Amino acid sequence: MHYISTRGFGPVNFRTTVLDGLAPDGGLYVPASYPKFSREELEELSFLSYEDIADKIMSPFIGDSVPSDILSQIIKTAYGKFNDIEVTPLIQYEEDTWIMELFHGPTFAFKDIAMQFLGPILEYTLGEEGTNATVIGATSGDTGPAAIEGLKNSDNINVFMLYPHNRTSAIQRMQMTTSGSQNIFPIAIEGTFDDCQNIVKELFSDLAFKEKINATSINSISWARLLPQMVYYFFAWSRLRDVVPGKEISFSVPTGNFGDAFAGYLAMQCGLPIKSILVATNSNDILTRFINNNDYSSHAVKPTRSPSMDIQIASNFERLLFDIYGRDSDVLKHAMREFKQHKALPKINDLQIDETRSIFSAESISEVDTLKMMSESDFTHNILIDPHTAVGLAAAKKHPELKPIVSLATAHPLKFPSALKEATAKELLFDDELDKMMKTEEVFDILPPDAELVRQYILDNL
């Protein structure tokens, strides 16, 4: 398996994508071609465990960069830490609608599915290279805790995690600031997630700095972070194939950075028979505006009760745009220059937008409807959901034509106690481990949204 950058660099192997994170030309790595799974291979998934499905689906993308026996062991160890044997269990919500719970990992968010895999993959790769690495990441709330959980106490990896100051939930913040690990450096940026993400991209574009500290990424700009998220689409299909025989399944995906939605698109490109991927956004609706109105223009970020989706520049969108442009890196580079200059992409042509809409649907959900969905889920179905999951489920209810549909539950409701109490008047009790964490002293630093200051902070702490 070879990978190329959306901006022209390559080809490289999987190991290089792990070490680089972002391609040297500023682009994102994508497969040079998508492997295809036959119908027979897909049907065999129904008899496999989640771990075995993950092994079968990811192996073609990894090739000989990781020996098969080591890959299998990494997968089994990663998902053995989850508190449900199915890893991402499906719960029927109503007729032809299911919720897929992605929050059974150590930090109670879907990012664990990727991070529990990426951590040991990165450590293995560094071990083979005989070197250390510096992880620089940006989080809107869930990536940071999952990355820190996966990489804390590592001997050969230091982690610098940027998050928007006072724009995450308390639990999300404290999962980053209470690790007690000497290799973890949480940085609260006085700005938005987009500011954090832009700083990370600027640091990675400085190739001399990147080489000096051997920087890599664990954000979904990293291919190795995105790849494991594709697996649960195959898992869901394998468990529902005989429940809805002969029907294609849709997925409702609450998303801000487009990584989870792109993972579904990737599964579709590999042969999974998906009817539609419903992109569900909150009022930060750049992705919805693109799909519905051919308008990819960045507006000011609006704080919402679903803070992990408070994003107005979806970094993973470049991967889809590359395919929309016929994998022409020159056209892509021109479009990204236009976006950087004018905060808006040139409109794509009618054929391109029609093709995009044949794969994706989109819906933006208001704050009122988010709370209403949380309340309805509790009152009608006795299922407590977090605000991000509510966005996805509310979007699914607005599109009955997409049934049967699986709505992704991306975080445990206890991570957002304020929104839960506001919507349902209920409170969830922390388990002993979380209760202990909430009483632990926090360690973090606050910096302005300035790449130079962050660069110096990293150098001072290595």
Instruction: Write out the chain's pLDDT in tens, 462 residues.
Output: 999 999 999 999 999 999 998 899 999 999 999 999 999 999 999 999 999 999 999 999 999 999 999 999 999 999 998 999 999 999 999 999 999 999 999 999 999 999 999 999 999 999 999 999 999 999 988 889 999 999 999 989 999 999 999 999 888 999 999 999 999 999 999 999 999 999 998 999 899 999 999 999 888 889 999 999 999 999 999 999 999 999 999 999 999 999 999 999 999 999 999 999 999 999 999 999 999 999 999 999 999 999 889 988 898 999 999 999 999 999 999 999 999 999 999 999 999 999 999 999 999 999 999 999 999 999 999 999 999 999 999 999 999 999 999 999 999 998 899 999 999 999 887 777 777 888 899 999 999 999 999 999 999 999
Query: Any bridge partners for residue 30, and if so which?
Result: 4
Is residue 38 domain-resident?
no
Q: 141: Cβ–Cβ under 8 A, 6 or more apart, which residues?
A: 163, 168, 169, 172, 307, 308
Residue of 306, 309, 303, 240 lying closest to 275 (CA atoms): 240
The CATH number of the domain where 231 resides is what? Answer: 3.40.50.1100
Q: 377: Cβ–Cβ under 8 A, 6 or more apart, which residues?
A: 93, 383, 384, 385, 390, 393
pTM over 0.85: yes
Task: Specify the number of domains making up the chain.
Answer: 1
Hey, what are 290's tokens? 């693109």
Domain of 364 in residue numbering reads as: 90-107+224-424
CB 158 within 8 A of CB 182: no
Catalytic site residues? 111
Is residue 213 domain-resident?
no
Is residue 129 domain-resident?
no
Query: Any bridge partners for residue 189, and if so which?
Result: 164, 447
Is residue 69 domain-resident?
no
Is residue 64 domain-resident?
no
Is residue 299 domain-resident?
yes
End-to-end CA distance of the chain: 34
Is residue 12 domain-resident?
no
Is residue 100 domain-resident?
yes
Number of neighbours of residue 446 by Cβ within 10 angstroms: 11
